[in-house]
Amino acid sequence: MQSIPATNPTIPALKSQSKPISSLSRRLPTRAMYRPDTPSRNDWQSSCAILASKVAVLAQQQEVQKSNGTDLTSLNGHHNQTLDLVPIDPNLPRPLSITDFSPAPMHGSQLRVAYQGVPGAYSEAAAGKAYPNCEAIPCDQFEVAFQAVELWIADRAVLPVENSLGGSIHRNYDLLLRHRLHIVGEVQLPVHHCLLALPGVRKEYLTRVISHPQALSQCELTLTKLGLNVIREAVDDTAGAAEFVAANNLRDTAAIASARAADLYGLQILADGIQDDSSNVTRFVMLAREPIIPRTDRPFKTSIVFAHDKGTSVLFKVLSAFAFRNISLTKIESRPHRNRPIRLVDDANVGTAKHFEYMFYVDFEASMAEVRAQNALAEVQEFTSFLRVLGSYPMDMTPWSPSVHVKLEMGSVRKEIALFAFRQDSNSHTYPHQSRRAVFKIAESNCILIQSF
Protein backbone atom coordinates (compact mmCIF):
# COMPACT_ATOMS: atom_id res chain seq x y z
CA MET A 1 0.00 0.00 0.00
CA GLN A 2 1.25 3.46 -0.90
CA SER A 3 2.35 5.53 2.07
CA ILE A 4 0.28 8.62 2.71
CA PRO A 5 1.90 11.90 3.77
CA ALA A 6 0.65 13.36 7.01
CA THR A 7 -0.04 16.68 5.32
CA ASN A 8 -2.26 15.38 2.59
CA PRO A 9 -4.32 18.43 1.51
CA THR A 10 -7.20 16.35 0.24
CA ILE A 11 -8.54 15.40 3.66
CA PRO A 12 -9.06 18.58 5.71
CA ALA A 13 -12.16 17.21 7.39
CA LEU A 14 -10.26 14.25 8.87
CA LYS A 15 -7.40 16.42 10.07
CA SER A 16 -9.79 18.74 11.82
CA GLN A 17 -11.02 15.92 14.04
CA SER A 18 -8.00 16.34 16.29
CA LYS A 19 -8.91 19.98 17.03
CA PRO A 20 -11.66 21.20 19.33
CA ILE A 21 -14.54 23.12 17.85
CA SER A 22 -13.34 26.37 19.43
CA SER A 23 -10.18 26.33 17.32
CA LEU A 24 -12.20 25.77 14.19
CA SER A 25 -14.29 28.84 14.87
CA ARG A 26 -11.13 31.00 15.06
CA ARG A 27 -10.29 30.54 11.38
CA LEU A 28 -10.68 33.96 9.85
CA PRO A 29 -9.70 33.87 6.17
CA THR A 30 -9.72 37.22 4.49
CA ARG A 31 -10.08 36.02 0.93
CA ALA A 32 -11.38 32.90 -0.74
CA MET A 33 -11.15 31.88 -4.37
CA TYR A 34 -12.94 28.79 -5.57
CA ARG A 35 -10.88 26.51 -7.82
CA PRO A 36 -12.77 23.50 -9.19
CA ASP A 37 -9.79 21.15 -9.24
CA THR A 38 -10.90 17.63 -10.07
CA PRO A 39 -9.46 15.21 -7.49
CA SER A 40 -7.26 12.48 -8.89
CA ARG A 41 -7.86 8.78 -8.36
CA ASN A 42 -4.80 8.63 -6.08
CA ASP A 43 -6.25 11.37 -3.88
CA TRP A 44 -9.54 9.52 -3.67
CA GLN A 45 -7.81 6.25 -2.77
CA SER A 46 -5.74 8.04 -0.13
CA SER A 47 -8.84 9.53 1.46
CA CYS A 48 -10.55 6.15 1.56
CA ALA A 49 -7.49 4.55 3.13
CA ILE A 50 -7.23 7.14 5.87
CA LEU A 51 -10.96 6.97 6.56
CA ALA A 52 -10.67 3.20 6.93
CA SER A 53 -7.76 3.59 9.32
CA LYS A 54 -9.77 6.07 11.40
CA VAL A 55 -12.60 3.57 11.64
CA ALA A 56 -10.21 0.87 12.81
CA VAL A 57 -8.61 3.12 15.43
CA LEU A 58 -12.02 4.19 16.74
CA ALA A 59 -13.15 0.58 17.03
CA GLN A 60 -10.00 -0.30 19.00
CA GLN A 61 -10.52 2.65 21.34
CA GLN A 62 -14.10 1.60 21.99
CA GLU A 63 -12.97 -1.95 22.81
CA VAL A 64 -10.43 -0.57 25.28
CA GLN A 65 -13.09 1.58 26.92
CA LYS A 66 -15.42 -1.40 27.28
CA SER A 67 -12.68 -3.62 28.70
CA ASN A 68 -11.81 -0.96 31.29
CA GLY A 69 -15.45 -0.64 32.32
CA THR A 70 -15.65 3.06 31.45
CA ASP A 71 -17.95 4.94 29.14
CA LEU A 72 -16.87 7.10 26.23
CA THR A 73 -18.35 10.36 27.51
CA SER A 74 -16.35 12.85 25.51
CA LEU A 75 -14.72 13.19 22.13
CA ASN A 76 -12.00 15.63 21.13
CA GLY A 77 -12.65 17.56 24.33
CA HIS A 78 -16.39 17.95 23.69
CA HIS A 79 -18.54 16.61 26.52
CA ASN A 80 -22.18 15.61 26.37
CA GLN A 81 -23.41 18.95 27.66
CA THR A 82 -22.00 20.81 24.63
CA LEU A 83 -24.97 19.65 22.56
CA ASP A 84 -28.22 20.64 24.27
CA LEU A 85 -30.72 18.54 22.38
CA VAL A 86 -34.48 18.25 22.47
CA PRO A 87 -36.01 15.83 25.00
CA ILE A 88 -38.93 14.32 23.11
CA ASP A 89 -41.30 11.41 23.44
CA PRO A 90 -39.45 8.05 23.50
CA ASN A 91 -41.72 6.71 20.78
CA LEU A 92 -40.39 9.39 18.43
CA PRO A 93 -36.82 9.49 17.07
CA ARG A 94 -34.26 9.39 19.91
CA PRO A 95 -32.57 12.73 20.71
CA LEU A 96 -29.02 13.21 19.57
CA SER A 97 -26.11 12.76 22.00
CA ILE A 98 -22.37 13.17 21.63
CA THR A 99 -21.80 9.43 22.15
CA ASP A 100 -23.57 8.78 18.84
CA PHE A 101 -20.33 9.73 17.06
CA SER A 102 -19.41 7.49 14.18
CA PRO A 103 -17.74 7.98 10.80
CA ALA A 104 -19.77 9.01 7.80
CA PRO A 105 -21.89 6.15 6.45
CA MET A 106 -20.45 4.08 3.64
CA HIS A 107 -22.26 3.39 0.39
CA GLY A 108 -25.72 2.00 1.05
CA SER A 109 -25.93 3.23 4.64
CA GLN A 110 -28.66 5.54 5.90
CA LEU A 111 -27.86 9.24 5.66
CA ARG A 112 -28.14 11.18 8.91
CA VAL A 113 -29.66 14.66 8.58
CA ALA A 114 -29.79 17.13 11.49
CA TYR A 115 -32.62 19.66 11.64
CA GLN A 116 -33.84 22.25 14.13
CA GLY A 117 -37.04 21.40 15.96
CA VAL A 118 -38.94 18.30 17.00
CA PRO A 119 -40.66 15.64 14.86
CA GLY A 120 -43.38 17.27 12.80
CA ALA A 121 -41.34 20.38 12.00
CA TYR A 122 -41.19 21.68 8.44
CA SER A 123 -37.42 21.24 8.50
CA GLU A 124 -37.98 17.51 9.03
CA ALA A 125 -40.24 17.47 5.98
CA ALA A 126 -37.56 19.30 3.97
CA ALA A 127 -34.99 16.71 5.04
CA GLY A 128 -37.32 13.94 3.88
CA LYS A 129 -37.82 15.63 0.51
CA ALA A 130 -34.11 16.19 -0.06
CA TYR A 131 -32.96 12.78 1.22
CA PRO A 132 -35.68 10.12 1.11
CA ASN A 133 -35.34 7.41 3.78
CA CYS A 134 -32.82 9.49 5.74
CA GLU A 135 -32.43 9.34 9.51
CA ALA A 136 -33.73 12.71 10.70
CA ILE A 137 -31.99 13.93 13.89
CA PRO A 138 -33.84 16.64 15.90
CA CYS A 139 -31.85 19.47 17.51
CA ASP A 140 -33.15 22.28 19.68
CA GLN A 141 -31.16 25.06 17.96
CA PHE A 142 -29.80 25.65 14.46
CA GLU A 143 -26.29 26.03 15.83
CA VAL A 144 -26.56 22.56 17.38
CA ALA A 145 -27.35 21.18 13.92
CA PHE A 146 -24.18 22.85 12.60
CA GLN A 147 -22.15 21.32 15.43
CA ALA A 148 -23.64 17.89 14.77
CA VAL A 149 -22.26 17.94 11.23
CA GLU A 150 -18.91 19.40 12.27
CA LEU A 151 -18.47 16.65 14.90
CA TRP A 152 -19.45 13.89 12.41
CA ILE A 153 -22.58 13.03 14.37
CA ALA A 154 -24.68 13.90 11.32
CA ASP A 155 -23.84 13.87 7.63
CA ARG A 156 -26.04 16.79 6.58
CA ALA A 157 -27.91 19.69 8.18
CA VAL A 158 -31.11 21.37 6.97
CA LEU A 159 -31.29 25.15 7.25
CA PRO A 160 -34.25 27.38 6.25
CA VAL A 161 -32.95 30.64 4.81
CA GLU A 162 -35.96 32.44 3.34
CA ASN A 163 -39.73 32.35 2.98
CA SER A 164 -41.92 33.78 0.24
CA LEU A 165 -44.02 35.68 2.83
CA GLY A 166 -41.76 36.25 5.82
CA GLY A 167 -38.58 37.00 3.89
CA SER A 168 -35.04 36.10 4.92
CA ILE A 169 -34.16 34.34 8.17
CA HIS A 170 -31.28 36.58 9.20
CA ARG A 171 -30.07 34.45 12.09
CA ASN A 172 -29.26 31.58 9.75
CA TYR A 173 -27.29 33.78 7.36
CA ASP A 174 -25.09 34.75 10.28
CA LEU A 175 -24.56 31.06 11.10
CA LEU A 176 -23.52 30.33 7.52
CA LEU A 177 -20.69 32.83 7.91
CA ARG A 178 -19.70 31.71 11.41
CA HIS A 179 -19.32 28.02 10.55
CA ARG A 180 -17.25 26.35 7.85
CA LEU A 181 -19.90 24.08 6.35
CA HIS A 182 -20.70 24.06 2.64
CA ILE A 183 -24.06 24.35 0.88
CA VAL A 184 -24.55 21.19 -1.20
CA GLY A 185 -28.21 21.48 -2.18
CA GLU A 186 -31.49 23.33 -1.79
CA VAL A 187 -35.15 22.39 -1.33
CA GLN A 188 -38.23 24.55 -1.79
CA LEU A 189 -41.05 23.28 0.42
CA PRO A 190 -44.68 24.49 0.22
CA VAL A 191 -45.80 25.38 3.76
CA HIS A 192 -49.39 24.62 4.82
CA HIS A 193 -50.17 26.03 8.27
CA CYS A 194 -52.93 24.79 10.58
CA LEU A 195 -54.37 26.18 13.82
CA LEU A 196 -54.07 23.38 16.38
CA ALA A 197 -55.57 23.00 19.87
CA LEU A 198 -56.49 20.29 22.36
CA PRO A 199 -59.53 18.14 21.50
CA GLY A 200 -62.77 19.85 22.48
CA VAL A 201 -61.33 23.37 22.56
CA ARG A 202 -63.24 26.01 20.59
CA LYS A 203 -61.71 29.04 18.91
CA GLU A 204 -63.80 31.42 21.02
CA TYR A 205 -62.03 30.26 24.18
CA LEU A 206 -58.50 30.93 22.93
CA THR A 207 -56.45 33.70 24.52
CA ARG A 208 -53.03 32.92 23.05
CA VAL A 209 -51.49 31.56 19.83
CA ILE A 210 -47.89 30.34 19.84
CA SER A 211 -45.57 29.37 16.99
CA HIS A 212 -42.30 30.25 15.29
CA PRO A 213 -41.99 33.99 14.50
CA GLN A 214 -42.01 33.28 10.77
CA ALA A 215 -45.22 31.22 11.06
CA LEU A 216 -46.92 33.96 13.09
CA SER A 217 -46.05 36.59 10.48
CA GLN A 218 -47.20 34.33 7.64
CA CYS A 219 -50.67 33.93 9.26
CA GLU A 220 -51.18 37.44 10.68
CA LEU A 221 -53.98 38.53 8.33
CA THR A 222 -55.84 35.22 8.54
CA LEU A 223 -55.81 35.24 12.35
CA THR A 224 -57.35 38.71 12.27
CA LYS A 225 -60.04 37.60 9.80
CA LEU A 226 -60.93 34.69 12.08
CA GLY A 227 -61.82 37.23 14.76
CA LEU A 228 -59.31 35.87 17.24
CA ASN A 229 -58.48 38.42 19.92
CA VAL A 230 -55.41 36.53 21.08
CA ILE A 231 -51.85 37.20 22.13
CA ARG A 232 -49.21 36.11 19.61
CA GLU A 233 -46.25 34.50 21.32
CA ALA A 234 -43.07 33.34 19.55
CA VAL A 235 -41.35 30.03 20.30
CA ASP A 236 -38.43 28.17 18.71
CA ASP A 237 -40.34 26.10 16.14
CA THR A 238 -43.82 25.21 14.92
CA ALA A 239 -43.90 21.55 15.93
CA GLY A 240 -42.39 22.48 19.30
CA ALA A 241 -45.36 24.80 19.85
CA ALA A 242 -47.76 21.92 19.20
CA GLU A 243 -45.81 19.67 21.55
CA PHE A 244 -45.86 22.38 24.25
CA VAL A 245 -49.65 22.77 24.07
CA ALA A 246 -50.18 19.01 24.32
CA ALA A 247 -47.61 18.39 27.06
CA ASN A 248 -48.95 21.17 29.32
CA ASN A 249 -52.66 20.56 28.60
CA LEU A 250 -53.18 24.22 27.65
CA ARG A 251 -56.86 24.66 26.82
CA ASP A 252 -56.61 28.41 26.22
CA THR A 253 -53.67 28.19 23.81
CA ALA A 254 -53.45 27.19 20.16
CA ALA A 255 -50.39 26.45 18.04
CA ILE A 256 -49.65 27.13 14.39
CA ALA A 257 -48.02 24.03 12.93
CA SER A 258 -48.40 21.33 10.29
CA ALA A 259 -51.14 18.72 10.05
CA ARG A 260 -48.52 16.06 10.80
CA ALA A 261 -47.74 17.79 14.10
CA ALA A 262 -51.43 17.52 15.00
CA ASP A 263 -51.30 13.76 14.39
CA LEU A 264 -48.08 13.30 16.36
CA TYR A 265 -49.21 15.21 19.46
CA GLY A 266 -52.93 14.40 19.51
CA LEU A 267 -54.28 17.85 18.66
CA GLN A 268 -57.32 18.84 16.64
CA ILE A 269 -57.25 21.16 13.64
CA LEU A 270 -59.38 24.24 14.32
CA ALA A 271 -58.55 25.91 11.00
CA ASP A 272 -56.73 24.55 7.97
CA GLY A 273 -54.59 26.47 5.50
CA ILE A 274 -54.37 29.67 7.55
CA GLN A 275 -51.32 31.12 5.77
CA ASP A 276 -52.06 34.53 4.27
CA ASP A 277 -51.01 33.40 0.78
CA SER A 278 -51.55 29.93 -0.64
CA SER A 279 -48.22 30.26 -2.48
CA ASN A 280 -46.31 30.03 0.79
CA VAL A 281 -42.92 28.43 0.18
CA THR A 282 -39.83 28.11 2.36
CA ARG A 283 -36.39 27.60 0.85
CA PHE A 284 -34.01 25.29 2.71
CA VAL A 285 -30.33 24.65 2.06
CA MET A 286 -28.47 21.43 2.79
CA LEU A 287 -25.09 21.68 4.51
CA ALA A 288 -22.15 19.26 4.56
CA ARG A 289 -18.55 19.17 5.72
CA GLU A 290 -17.16 19.04 2.19
CA PRO A 291 -18.36 20.79 -0.98
CA ILE A 292 -19.65 18.85 -3.95
CA ILE A 293 -17.93 18.93 -7.33
CA PRO A 294 -19.74 21.50 -9.51
CA ARG A 295 -21.12 20.34 -12.86
CA THR A 296 -22.44 21.93 -16.02
CA ASP A 297 -24.92 19.28 -17.18
CA ARG A 298 -27.77 20.61 -15.01
CA PRO A 299 -28.84 23.98 -13.55
CA PHE A 300 -26.60 25.03 -10.65
CA LYS A 301 -26.75 27.86 -8.16
CA THR A 302 -23.79 29.39 -6.32
CA SER A 303 -23.91 31.28 -3.02
CA ILE A 304 -21.20 33.73 -1.94
CA VAL A 305 -20.64 36.27 0.84
CA PHE A 306 -18.37 39.31 0.57
CA ALA A 307 -17.48 42.67 2.11
CA HIS A 308 -16.59 45.37 -0.41
CA ASP A 309 -13.67 47.79 -0.20
CA LYS A 310 -13.93 51.52 0.33
CA GLY A 311 -14.62 53.63 -2.70
CA THR A 312 -17.27 55.08 -4.96
CA SER A 313 -19.94 52.78 -6.44
CA VAL A 314 -18.04 49.69 -5.32
CA LEU A 315 -21.19 47.61 -4.88
CA PHE A 316 -22.26 48.56 -8.41
CA LYS A 317 -18.89 47.41 -9.75
CA VAL A 318 -19.21 44.09 -7.90
CA LEU A 319 -22.69 43.38 -9.25
CA SER A 320 -21.67 44.49 -12.75
CA ALA A 321 -19.24 41.58 -12.87
CA PHE A 322 -22.27 39.28 -13.04
CA ALA A 323 -24.40 41.46 -15.32
CA PHE A 324 -21.69 41.77 -18.00
CA ARG A 325 -21.46 37.96 -18.16
CA ASN A 326 -25.23 37.44 -18.32
CA ILE A 327 -25.34 35.74 -14.90
CA SER A 328 -28.70 36.13 -13.17
CA LEU A 329 -28.79 37.02 -9.48
CA THR A 330 -31.57 35.29 -7.52
CA LYS A 331 -30.92 36.92 -4.15
CA ILE A 332 -28.90 39.65 -2.48
CA GLU A 333 -29.00 40.08 1.29
CA SER A 334 -27.05 42.47 3.51
CA ARG A 335 -26.06 41.80 7.12
CA PRO A 336 -24.05 43.93 9.56
CA HIS A 337 -20.30 43.35 9.54
CA ARG A 338 -19.87 42.10 13.11
CA ASN A 339 -16.09 42.52 13.18
CA ARG A 340 -16.31 46.06 11.80
CA PRO A 341 -19.85 47.41 12.34
CA ILE A 342 -19.02 51.12 11.87
CA ARG A 343 -16.50 52.86 9.60
CA LEU A 344 -15.34 56.40 10.39
CA VAL A 345 -14.77 58.84 7.55
CA ASP A 346 -12.83 62.03 8.30
CA ASP A 347 -14.12 65.03 6.42
CA ALA A 348 -13.04 68.57 7.22
CA ASN A 349 -16.37 70.00 6.14
CA VAL A 350 -18.77 67.77 8.07
CA GLY A 351 -16.58 66.45 10.86
CA THR A 352 -16.35 62.73 11.51
CA ALA A 353 -18.97 60.85 9.50
CA LYS A 354 -19.98 57.30 10.39
CA HIS A 355 -21.03 54.63 7.93
CA PHE A 356 -22.36 51.18 8.73
CA GLU A 357 -20.38 48.27 7.31
CA TYR A 358 -22.24 45.33 5.78
CA MET A 359 -21.60 41.83 4.52
CA PHE A 360 -23.46 40.90 1.33
CA TYR A 361 -24.87 37.46 0.58
CA VAL A 362 -25.49 36.81 -3.12
CA ASP A 363 -27.01 33.82 -4.93
CA PHE A 364 -26.51 33.56 -8.69
CA GLU A 365 -27.54 31.03 -11.33
CA ALA A 366 -24.27 29.54 -12.52
CA SER A 367 -21.99 26.66 -11.64
CA MET A 368 -18.45 27.20 -10.45
CA ALA A 369 -17.45 24.75 -13.17
CA GLU A 370 -18.37 27.44 -15.73
CA VAL A 371 -15.62 29.78 -16.89
CA ARG A 372 -17.94 32.80 -16.76
CA ALA A 373 -18.60 32.22 -13.05
CA GLN A 374 -14.89 31.85 -12.32
CA ASN A 375 -14.09 35.05 -14.22
CA ALA A 376 -16.91 36.90 -12.46
CA LEU A 377 -15.56 36.00 -9.02
CA ALA A 378 -12.03 36.91 -10.09
CA GLU A 379 -13.31 40.38 -10.96
CA VAL A 380 -15.40 40.59 -7.77
CA GLN A 381 -12.31 39.85 -5.71
CA GLU A 382 -10.68 43.05 -6.97
CA PHE A 383 -13.30 45.16 -5.17
CA THR A 384 -13.75 43.15 -1.96
CA SER A 385 -11.88 42.88 1.32
CA PHE A 386 -13.46 39.49 2.00
CA LEU A 387 -14.92 36.89 -0.35
CA ARG A 388 -16.07 33.36 0.41
CA VAL A 389 -17.93 30.80 -1.69
CA LEU A 390 -20.57 29.18 0.53
CA GLY A 391 -21.35 26.50 -2.03
CA SER A 392 -22.11 25.64 -5.65
CA TYR A 393 -25.00 23.20 -5.78
CA PRO A 394 -27.89 21.90 -7.96
CA MET A 395 -30.99 24.06 -8.10
CA ASP A 396 -34.27 22.58 -6.86
CA MET A 397 -36.27 22.10 -10.05
CA THR A 398 -39.08 20.05 -8.45
CA PRO A 399 -42.50 21.40 -9.50
CA TRP A 400 -44.85 22.33 -6.69
CA SER A 401 -48.38 23.66 -6.30
CA PRO A 402 -49.97 25.95 -3.69
CA SER A 403 -52.19 24.81 -0.82
CA VAL A 404 -54.07 21.68 -1.69
CA HIS A 405 -57.82 21.90 -1.49
CA VAL A 406 -60.42 19.81 -3.27
CA LYS A 407 -64.00 21.07 -3.46
CA LEU A 408 -66.71 18.43 -3.59
CA GLU A 409 -70.20 19.21 -4.87
CA MET A 410 -72.92 16.68 -4.09
CA GLY A 411 -76.41 18.09 -4.48
CA SER A 412 -76.63 21.07 -2.16
CA VAL A 413 -73.81 19.83 0.03
CA ARG A 414 -70.37 21.30 -0.50
CA LYS A 415 -67.32 20.16 1.34
CA GLU A 416 -63.75 21.30 1.21
CA ILE A 417 -61.05 18.89 2.18
CA ALA A 418 -57.29 19.05 2.01
CA LEU A 419 -55.51 16.23 0.26
CA PHE A 420 -51.85 15.53 0.77
CA ALA A 421 -49.74 12.86 -0.82
CA PHE A 422 -47.36 11.47 1.74
CA ARG A 423 -44.22 9.50 1.25
CA GLN A 424 -43.28 6.97 3.91
CA ASP A 425 -39.75 5.84 4.61
CA SER A 426 -38.43 2.66 6.16
CA ASN A 427 -38.74 4.12 9.68
CA SER A 428 -42.47 4.76 9.18
CA HIS A 429 -42.08 8.55 9.30
CA THR A 430 -44.30 10.35 6.79
CA TYR A 431 -43.34 13.49 4.96
CA PRO A 432 -45.43 15.84 2.82
CA HIS A 433 -44.22 15.08 -0.68
CA GLN A 434 -46.37 16.41 -3.46
CA SER A 435 -49.78 18.01 -3.59
CA ARG A 436 -52.35 18.74 -6.27
CA ARG A 437 -55.35 20.99 -6.30
CA ALA A 438 -58.44 20.03 -8.18
CA VAL A 439 -62.17 20.71 -8.29
CA PHE A 440 -64.44 17.73 -8.65
CA LYS A 441 -68.13 17.50 -9.37
CA ILE A 442 -69.86 14.41 -8.11
CA ALA A 443 -73.03 13.36 -9.93
CA GLU A 444 -74.49 10.14 -8.57
CA SER A 445 -71.65 7.62 -8.73
CA ASN A 446 -69.54 9.51 -11.26
CA CYS A 447 -66.61 11.72 -10.32
CA ILE A 448 -65.60 14.16 -13.06
CA LEU A 449 -62.42 16.21 -12.97
CA ILE A 450 -63.42 19.77 -13.83
CA GLN A 451 -60.19 21.68 -13.29
CA SER A 452 -56.70 20.93 -12.09
CA PHE A 453 -54.29 23.74 -11.33
Q: Tell me the sheet residues that pair with 389.
A: 304
Q: Is 307 helix (H, G, I), strand (E, B) or coil?
A: strand
Report field, pTM of the whole predicted structure over 0.85: no
- How far is the C-alpha of 428 from the C-alpha of 133, rounded, in Å? 9
Map out the domains of the chain as residue ranges.
Answer: 41-72, 74-191+281-287, 292-394, 404-453
- In which region does residue 106 sit, left (phi positive, over 0), alpha (psi from -120 to 50) or beta (all else)? beta
| Beta carbons of 432 and 258 less than 8 angstroms apart | yes
Q: How much is the pLDDT for 305?
A: 95
CA nearest to 124, candidates 284, 350, 272, 243: 284
| 292-394 has the same fold as 74-191+281-287 | no
| Beta carbons of 140 and 236 less than 8 angstroms apart | yes
Annotated active-site residue 238? The verdict is: no
Q: Is 422 helix (H, G, I), strand (E, B) or coil?
A: strand
pLDDT tens per residue across all 453 residues of the chain: 444 444 444 444 434 444 444 444 444 444 444 444 444 545 555 555 555 555 555 666 666 555 555 444 333 333 444 444 444 455 665 445 433 444 444 444 589 999 999 999 999 999 999 999 899 999 989 999 999 999 999 999 999 999 998 889 988 999 999 999 999 999 999 999 999 999 999 998 899 999 999 899 999 999 988 888 899 999 988 999 999 999 999 999 999 999 999 999 999 999 999 999 888 899 999 999 999 999 999 999 999 999 988 777 889 999 999 999 999 999 999 988 766 655 555 555 555 556 678 889 999 999 999 999 999 999 999 999 899 999 999 998 776 555 443 333 333 333 332 333 333 333 333 333 333 333 323 233 333 332 332
Q: Domain spanning 292-394 has what CATH number?
A: 3.30.70.260
Q: How much is the pLDDT for 357?
A: 80
Annotated active-site residue 306? The verdict is: no
CA nearest to 268, candidates 200, 188, 207, 331: 200
The H-or-E segment that residue 423 falls in is strand 421-424
Active-site residue among 282, 300, 306, 384?
282
Fold of 74-191+281-287: D-Maltodextrin-Binding Protein; domain 2 (3.40.190)
44 Cβ neighbours under 8 A, 6+ residues apart: none
* DSSP characters over 162-227: EETTTEE-HHHHHHHHHS--EEEEEEEEE---EEEE-TT--GGG--EEEE-HHHHHHTHHHHHHTT
N-term to C-term CA, the chain? 60
Active-site residue among 284, 306, 322, 386?
284
| Beta carbons of 124 and 242 less than 8 angstroms apart | no
